[in-house]
Structure 1
Amino acid sequence: MATKHNKKKNFFENLSSKVTIAVGSTTAIVLAFGSVLVWAVLGPVFHYSEAWQMVINTGTTIITFLMVFLIQKSQNKESMAVQLKLNELVAAHEFASNRLVDVENMTEDELKVIQKYYTKLKLKTQKEESLQRSHSIEEASQMHDLKKDIEDRVRKKVKK
């Protein structure tokens, strides 16, 4: 059974979803443009008074204030959905680095460390013959270490 808190949450969730869809519609754009046009046409009627100017200023300020929060809520929800989809892809791919699951919650310093790994990965794989080959960070490091070990063994044998 839904609690009072859940009903309130669902109400606001549903309201914000419906308002987001409505304000992103062609009808909303036409209404906004029409409102500004009506306001502009009424300028001479009200002798471009302060009250006439205050109507558009107040209206746009209120709408902008509310829209900032609505846009942020929609963007947060969309971002979370995209991150969850990406997390699923990373988690499902056998060669992907699982350290990237939930990467959006890492600190900036942690992200810079991972960025350095990928820079190294790029440098290590630039010498690959095939552009179609994919590597995880770990796989590239292991391959690099393996190649280095083989190279060292060859050098030792050549020196003998």
Structure 2
Amino acid sequence: MTARVWTVEESLEVPLPPHAVYAALADVRRMREWSPEVIWVWPRGRRFVGVNRKAGWVWFGTCRIVVADPGREFAFDNITFGLPVARWGYRLTPTERGTLVTEYWTDLRRHGWRRRIAEVLGLVFTGTPPARRADHNRTGMRETLRRLRAACGPAA
């Protein structure tokens, strides 16, 4: 049995400067343009509700922006029914041709009875067992970054 993976990172270079990439990421309504699961976002200040879909599963998460450092990093925590689920974020590093965007995910379901409830809810809502969540998210992150790069390309 392999050990549970609690954090995943993927990176890809985007042909825009960090402040422009940050502006795209910080407009959370645009997340549905590049995320393979997000279908709708309702922003409410530093919080937003995201609705996601994967095959026959549809679920929502309440998110709170926890890092908003223009041109450097944008991150939010996903909370479902008051239970911490995950932190999603983007670190931006300037390069000669644009920005290296590193998307990261950290599973926040780590301790006690709250973890067990969050794990069951995660399986029921998304259909992804805890042991496969990191691999599933890594695949989605790669697609997200490819779509982000396309949206931020010369024609954007």
Q: Common fold, TM-score beyond 0.5?
A: no
Output the TM-score relative to the length of structure 1: 0.25
Q: Which has the higher helix share?
A: 1
Structure possessing the higher relative contact order (Cα contacts under 8 Å, 6 or more residues apart) = 2
Choose 1 or 2 for highest CA Rg. 1
Q: Which has the higher strand share?
A: 2
Output the TM-score relative to the length of structure 2: 0.26
